[in-house]
Structure 1
Amino acid sequence: MTEKIARFFEERRPQTPCLVVDLDVVEQNYHALADALPDARIFYAVKANPAPEILRLLTGLGSAFDTASVPEIEMVLAAGCTPDRISYGNTIKKEADIRRAFELGVRLFAYDSEAELEKISRAAPGARVFCRILTSGEGAEWPLSRKFGCDLPMARELLIKARGMGVEPWGVSFHVGSQQKDLTQWDRAIFEVAQLFRELEVLGIDLGMINLGGGFPTRYRSDVPNSQAYGQAIFDSLRRHFGNHLPETIVEPGRGMVGSAGVIESEVVLVSRKSATDRKRWVYLDIGKFGGLAETMDEAIQYPIEVLGDDGSDAAAEPVILAGPTCDSADVLYERAEYRMPADLKAGDRVRIHATGAYTTTYAAVCFNGFAPLQQYCI
């Protein structure tokens, strides 16, 4: 946690739960990735955290944006970005939304099926399109399912079809899974994409772009490689498989851009046991899965959690089960993961949940059980 965030909590004492994002950290993360991948264009994944302050900051730094909906496109434009720096990267779009994005000036669209390609050709004639391929997601803490992308043979056919449908087949995209710590995963995908580029070149289709997706991590409870390590691994792979004929490359960081910039402060609502012999106490916070911590599903993302006033002594800590405040049995954050908290923890104590700048405010339900959406402060 930065001194600026600590000072904000101390001076403002905001009502919990709330998220505080340090914009200086966002800027540092942007520069770190830009320095690590100097030949790639950064398209910030707006879905990670669309706060206007973040979008304005990144626009000023020169970032482009990966968007998933028309409202996200409108948010980015309102932040001062021009439409030539926007990609409509969702492969599942209403035709009316494609048309509206095209009217707003967006000219870069993703697809992974013939039906989606047909919609784009009708609603966005002349646009550039890129086809998303499937990846395994192996090694990612938040793997992406088979919901997005198609296999290589289908991608080849879809890019060939695009040529005759009034749009420009421009590139190929993939995503190796969110919070990806295995540096080799990009190499596997880049190898497949390079093969596809060469096959299409023989047919007279010269693709110009490879979208390397996201996957760049935030440090939670264990160390992750730094931006330079990712940059070097990706650059080496591009050189190995494309030689000196490198296409335009773009990356779509979300978590890696804003995750480490945010801290949530929460209040303990209740500490209890289910029986006199329970080894673990239940600790209920005023934030849970439906308040912004949806990524605790299956305990996939394990946030660092600090109890205010705790001296960090393991001797004074006991294992706990962490849960949210709602009347929903699914609202349990961590039961298997070994979280420990002070033996004298009580209702009213405050905890800070670190590295929560990404995928929290955007996952928060709108008044589920009457609880207000997660409040956010960007400083």
Structure 2
Amino acid sequence: MEVPRFDQWSSGEFDAVQLARSIVSKSKDIETAFYVIDLDDPPRKLKLWREVLPRVQPHYAVKCNPNKVLLKVLVGLGIGFDCASRNEIRLVLSLGADPQKIVYAHTIKSPTSIHFAREKGIRRMTFDNVKELQKIKEHFPEALLILRLRVVDEDCYTMTDKFGCPPEDIPSVVGAAKNLGLNLHGFSFHVGCQSEKDRTSVTALQVCKDAEKVARQFGYTPKLIDIGGGFDCNKGDEQTFKQIAGGISTACDSLFPASEGYEVISEPGTFFVGSACSICAMIVGKRYLRGMTQLYLNESVYISFNRALFGDSHIKLQPLKGSEIFDKTSIGENLQPTRIYGVSLDGIDRIIPCWQLPEMEIGDWILLYNQGAYSEAIESSFNMLDSPDR
């Protein structure tokens, strides 16, 4: 199915529900879920970013959502890109991205991948161990290296057991870079996805400052600080982002003042695309079990709702035949406990555990908001289910 483009309704405002209803009403035979994408959302997010983090140059994390239409919008905005593989690099370059605005943000790279980056003129890349330095020395000795530091936030999804140089290893790793004659360009960290605590980033910035002092002892003068990602900002949640960003901005100015030549960048993904995409899905099954309504969608955690496996709290839904928006906090006399499953044969394929929702029937459509992050990017072929139209 070719999904119609939305080119502004008379109100001048993007209305995902209105567009979804129009698609469903005009295409009675559709049975596949589909995306509704607000292409004006990323520009709005960039405007907000520049208002509250004017010094921090965003590099969109391609892994979050590699949708070409969204990437074209982001390339047009002139921001940078965080790429973690050769294919991600190829993709953004094919869409016109500037190689000098790309960070090869993976601390473990194959020799051929390092050589590929060299061929494409992508000098900035991350590392966190001595073995990686040895590969870089052989295949790209003029690279501008960013040492990823280990920072822990217990309250969010984090990868620090897998990536990041522990503070106690910084002297030996920096010393190895010096002995190999490599360019230590700066430091990076990633506090974790969906972190809502500016204190964690502020603590991480202090770790970067301590690492910089070590680097200076070896004769380096690193001037780049990469504060990673983990930022979220769904529509209506701007105040939370502003609060977090305010603390980070103050810490950056204090520890790494622009007057001393420091450059600060970041790697946001969800921030730019999370609320840009909604998914319209159809109810294809219904039953009752022990006092609870169970609905089955033509979607799945194996297609677009992978984040539901990690307790995604950002889902909001709206039945197309109604006007109310529901989330996990909804209550009301005409609502009933409802669990929403994906259509795969895996028992863990549960999109919504138990919300109070109105009565809905097979054939009804619902719109699920805030589904732009780690949806299309993580889609699998399990059960060979139909992918949503885009």
Relative to the length of structure 1, the TM-score reads: 0.90
Q: Which residue of 2 aligns with 1:11?
A: 22
Question: C-alpha distance in 2, partners of 1:122/1:168?
Answer: 13
Describe how 1:311-330 pairs up with structure 2 within 5 A.
Answer: 311-312=323-324, 314-330=332-348
How far the C-alpha of 1:246 sits from its partner, in A, is 5.9
Q: Which residue of 2 aligns with 1:266?
A: 281
Structure 1 range deviating more: 248-257 or 145-154: 145-154
| 1:287 equivalenced with 2:299 (yes/no) | yes
Q: Which residue of 1 aligns with 2:246?
A: 232
Change (3 A) 1:5 1:224: closer
Describe how 1:132-147 pairs up with structure 2 within 5 A.
Answer: 132-140=148-156, 142-147=157-162
Gaps of 5+ in 1: none
SS at match of 1:77: helix
Q: Which one of 32, 35, 51 corresponds to residue 51 of structure 2?
A: 35
Q: Which one of 127, 130, 139 corresponds to residue 146 of structure 2?
A: 130
| 1:61 equivalenced with 2:85 (yes/no) | no
Q: Which residue of 1 aligns with 2:367?
A: 352
Q: Which one of 90, 104, 119 corresponds to residue 106 of structure 2?
A: 90
Percent identical: 26
Amino acid at match of 1:284: Y
Q: Which residue of 1 aligns with 2:4?
A: none
Q: Which residue of 2 aligns with 1:309?
A: 321
How far the C-alpha of 1:67 sits from its partner, in A, is 0.4
Gaps of 5+ in 2: 1-12, 325-330
How far the C-alpha of 1:356 sits from its partner, in A, is 0.8
SS at match of 1:319: strand
Question: C-alpha distance in 1, partners of 2:388/2:185?
Answer: 39
Q: Any conservation in 2 of the 1:303–1:354 contact (CA below 8 Å)? A: yes
Question: C-alpha distance in 1, partners of 2:146/2:183?
Answer: 9
Amino acid at match of 1:270: G
Q: Any conservation in 1 of the 2:34–2:388 contact (CA below 8 Å)? A: yes
Relative to the length of structure 2, the TM-score reads: 0.88
Change (3 A) 1:149 1:375: farther
SS at match of 1:30: helix
SS at match of 1:178: coil
Q: Any conservation in 2 of the 1:292–1:364 contact (CA below 8 Å)? A: yes
> Aligned pairs, how many?
367
Q: Which residue of 1 aligns with 2:349?
A: 331
Q: Which one of 251, 262, 267 corresponds to residue 247 of structure 1?
A: 262
Q: Which one of 77, 87, 108 corresponds to residue 71 of structure 1?
A: 87
